[in-house]
Amino acid sequence: MKFPIPSLYEMPEMTFEVAKGVLIGMDGKDDLLGAMEAMDARWNDYCESTFTSTPLYEDDDAFFATWVYEANAYNVVFDTMAPLFATKGATEYFTAEEA
């Protein structure tokens, strides 16, 4: 899932190389998947905190103002890598007679 970044914080000019540089090292992670998981955990922690009396951020806008580069980097890496994880429909693996 990509981050629902408000248009004010979108960085459409961010390249994959810049995104990789922003993410690698996050929380001590030296790989993209680990860094993406760390950023995803930040979002999940924030979302869970909205159901408490002490949310981590005032609202989504405050979250993205804080993590603007990392959230955009996550989305760039996600968009770039998504085709590698796309799956074919089950019917594409079998002929009509086999299905």
Residue 41 contacts residue 35 (beta carbons within 8 Å): no
Asked if 39 contacts 70 with a C-beta cutoff of 8 angstroms, the reply is: yes
Per-residue pLDDT at 26: 86
Question: Does the pLDDT of residue 90 top 60, yes or no?
Answer: no
User: Domain containing 55: what range?
Assistant: 13-93
pTM equals: 0.81
Instruction: Dump pLDDT digits (tens) for 3-56.
Output: 999 999 999 999 999 999 999 988 888 899 999 999 999 999 999 999 999 999
Cα dihedral 49→1→68→43 (10° resolution): 20
List, for residues 61-83, the tens digit of each pLDDT value.
Answer: 999 999 999 999 999 999 999 88
Q: Is residue 67 part of a domain?
A: yes
Does any domain span residue 79?
Answer: yes
Residue at 7 is within a domain: no
Number of domains in the chain: 1
